Amino acid sequence: MAYLLLKAALSGLIIAIVSEVARRAPGLGALIASLPLISVLGMIWLWRDTQDTARMAEHATATFWFVLPSLPMFLVIPLLLNRGIGFWSALAIGCALTVALYLVMVWALGQFGVKL
């Protein structure tokens, strides 16, 4: 249980740092947020828990493929905000787009025999 709490606390601390830095310097907050810190921590926790090389390789590969369909969200949200769409609506549209693109990515890669 202590291990789970440590993982949650460290991951939450990173999110809190990003939001605090972004309040003062949006560009620096974005830089920190763009670092794959959560992905790296996830890999560290997975490795510590399993030490399974095949599972780690599969996880890292899947992470790569799932990052790609999430990128358009970071263009759509500011575009919508700059056109007067409210934050919550822009966020919802960006998230919906990302989910749709995830589904397309899973389907498209499946056509090439890649299973995520």
Task: Select from 62, 67, 72, 64 the least CA-distant residue to 96.
Answer: 72
Does 6 share its domain with 59?
A: no
**Of the candidate ranges 10-14, 86-90, 92-96, the one whose mean pLDDT is the lowest:** 10-14
**In which domain, by residue range, is 24 found?**
1-51
Judge if 35 and 78 occupy the same domain: no
Q: Are residue 68 and residue 116 in the same domain, yes or no?
A: yes
Number of domains observed in the structure of the chain:
2
The alpha carbon of 33 is separated from its chain's Cα centroid by a whole number of angstroms, namely 9
72 and 30 belong to one structural domain: no
Q: Taking the CA of residue 64 as centre, how many other CA atoms within 13 Å lie in the half-sphere pointing to its CB?
A: 9
pLDDT digits (tens, 9 = 90+) for 20-79: 999 999 999 888 888 888 889 889 999 999 999 999 999 999 999 999 999 999 999 999
